[in-house]
Amino acid sequence: MSTPGWQLAADAGLDFSLPQQLTVILLCALTAFISHMALAVFNDGVRPFMLDFIHGRTTRSATTAVSFGLSAGFIFGLGAPMALSSGVLNPWLLFLPTDILGLLAPKKWLAPLLGAGWGAVVVFGLNGANEVAHDLPVDFLTAMQQMSTPILFLFTLFPVLAITKQFGRAWGGAAGVLELALVVLTMKLWPDMFAGALAMAVGVLLLIGLAVRRDLAQRKADRADEAASGTAAQGPPEDDPMASLFSTSAARLRRYLPLFMVLGAGVCMLAQMHIFGGGEATSFLIAKGNISEAAQVDFYRFFGFIPLIATTALASGAYGIAGFTIVYPIGYLMPNPVLAAIAGAAVFAIEVMALSSIGKVLGKLPSVRDSSEHLRSAITDSLHLAILFGSLMAANAMGAGLGILVVGGLYLLNEAMGRPVVRMAAAPAAVIVGGVLLNVLYWLDLFTPVKG
């Protein structure tokens, strides 16, 4: 994790080639169109509201307002700062705005135009904003690169947190000791490898193994009880309204399978170009050139989102823009864009066709389903601490004690005001606001930037 190599990676990441620019613009146009059609949105919090919109029980403007309210903080507080500091695009910057623009557009033809316009703003405007920021006396973007180390290393602990929440302190403690030993071992024996890669692999496998063991034990106990009582398990009634809703939603999505295949191809191509990261840790790993480790990290995240995306898609009739997100790691590892497009299309075809079956399987594995909930919660908890700590490190790098006072104060003020900016995005947003304020103080001759 040498500083010079990191600096080059971050700076080079925002200078997009023509094929990269076209891919981003066309993909943003496509995602805005799909959002307008209410076929898919990226924001998991918006998806449950799509059912009423699809059935005409709420208006387009009301649904757009919900999407904007749930997405704006992530776009400006997390997506933009992460892209500027890492030099790698992310889904919050690309797909949350196209959710909003697609829903906002009153006409079908206008949605892709608005989406393409946003894509152009990103690919042509981001590099200019990056250059302007680096020329400021207080370079807060370079300071924000301090966030990479806490994000990468604290993210490693998310399996430990998930195991502790679901299976108790003993298993959590054992997982923590095991992960620490594996991190130390990796740093000693394989210094060129991301230190948390092996630890996360073992942690996620342990969590899944414990969940499957619990489910199998419960099913065995249930069968024993049934045999003892002479009764058979009752299946869901044929007129189950939820089963009917799930079936209708799955059929609706299957009707648009070709469009979803194009979407999968586009997302996978973007990931293959290595200008895009599916998560916070992934963005910094790609910026450092650790592509296989980035694929590994997003592969683990995939397990945490299967039940959420499957159940909300079946309940609402709207899928996820990135599907189950497995298309990210597949794209990172593809050798060229053509193979990435083919693989992405195939992955989305399989996902959409298998959606009903996945929902049924998850219904029979409650502990595995709960593990995914705990994984998502653990990822959020670990990243919240990492982003907050990294933001304070960035504040110290750009303004020492005054920087910490400003950034930490803005974060605490956001908490006291009831979090108008979502917690995950509040700290990076505070760094940008703090950086602007420190530059103003410099121009007023009230502040001297930290040297180095």
The confidence score (pLDDT) of residue 232 equals 52
Look at 293 and 225; give whichever has higher pLDDT: 293
The confidence score (pLDDT) of residue 10 equals 42
Residue 208 lies in a domain: no
CA distance linking residue 201 with residue 185, whole number of Å: 14
Tokens representing 280 are: 């916070």
Exposure string over 33-67, b if 16+ CB within 10 A, otherwise e:
bbbbebbbbbbeebbebbbebbeeeeeeeebbebb
Encode pLDDT of 433-448 as tens digits.
999 999 999 899 888 8
Look at 322 and 6; give whichever has higher pLDDT: 322
The confidence score (pLDDT) of residue 371 equals 83
The confidence score (pLDDT) of residue 208 equals 86
Residue 97 lies in a domain: yes
Does 229 score more than 90 pLDDT? no
Per-position DSSP letters for 50-68, written without gaps between them: HHHHHTTSS-HHHHHHHHH
Does 339 score more than 90 pLDDT? yes
Residue 185 lies in a domain: no
The confidence score (pLDDT) of residue 2 equals 37
Q: Residue 157 gets which letter from DSSP?
A: T
What is the pLDDT averaged over residues 90-109?
A: 94
The confidence score (pLDDT) of residue 5 equals 37
Residue 352 lies in a domain: yes
Confidence of residue 85 (pLDDT cuts 50, 70, 90): confident
Q: Are 303 and 203 in contact (CB under 8 A)?
A: no
What is the pLDDT averaged over residues 48-77?
A: 87
Share of the chain above pLDDT 90, in %: 43
Encode pLDDT of 182-224 as tens digits.
999 989 988 877 888 888 888 888 988 888 888 888 888 877 7
Look at 348 and 365; give whichever has higher pLDDT: 348
Encode pLDDT of 130-171 as tens digits.
788 778 888 888 888 888 889 888 888 989 999 999 999 999
Give the number of C-alpha atoms closer than 13 A to the C-alpha of residue 271, restricted to the C-beta side.
Answer: 32
Q: What angle do CA 271, 316, 211 make, to 5 degrees?
A: 70
Does 452 score more than 60 pLDDT? no
Look at 249 and 410; give whichever has higher pLDDT: 410
Please report, as a single letter, which amino acid is at residue 294. A
Residue 223 lies in a domain: no
Does 301 score more than 90 pLDDT? no
Q: Indicate the average pLDDT of the chain.
A: 86
Residue 166 lies in a domain: no
Handedness of CA 272, 273, 274, 279 (dihedral sign): negative
Distances (CA, A) of 382 to 131, 156, 390: 31, 8, 12
> What pTM value is reported for the model?
0.84
Residue 226 lies in a domain: no
Q: Are 116 and 26 in contact (CB under 8 A)?
A: yes
Cα Rg of the chain, angstroms: 23
Nearest C-alpha neighbor of 42 from the set 83, 70, 10, 9? 70
The size of the chain, in residues, is 452
What is the pLDDT averaged over residues 331-347?
A: 95
Encode pLDDT of 373-383 as tens digits.
888 888 889 98
CA distance linking residue 207 with residue 172, whole number of Å: 10
Confidence of residue 4 (pLDDT cuts 50, 70, 90): very low
Does 8 score more than 80 pLDDT? no
The confidence score (pLDDT) of residue 6 equals 38
Q: Residue 233 gets which letter from DSSP?
A: P
Give, rounded to a whole angstrom, the gap between the first and last alpha carbons of the chain. Answer: 18
Tokens representing 150 are: 């806490």
Q: Are 286 and 88 in contact (CB under 8 A)?
A: yes
Q: What residues make up the domain containing 48?
A: 3-157+242-443
Cβ-based neighbour number of residue 181 at 10 Å? 12
Look at 126 and 276; give whichever has higher pLDDT: 276
Q: Are 177 and 199 in contact (CB under 8 A)?
A: no
Nearest C-alpha neighbor of 141 from the set 119, 126, 152? 126
Q: Which of 53-57, 100-104, 351-355, 393-397 has the lowest mean pLDDT?
A: 53-57
Indicate the number of domains in the chain: 1
Residues paired with 276 in a beta bridge: 89
Cβ-based neighbour number of residue 115 at 10 Å? 30
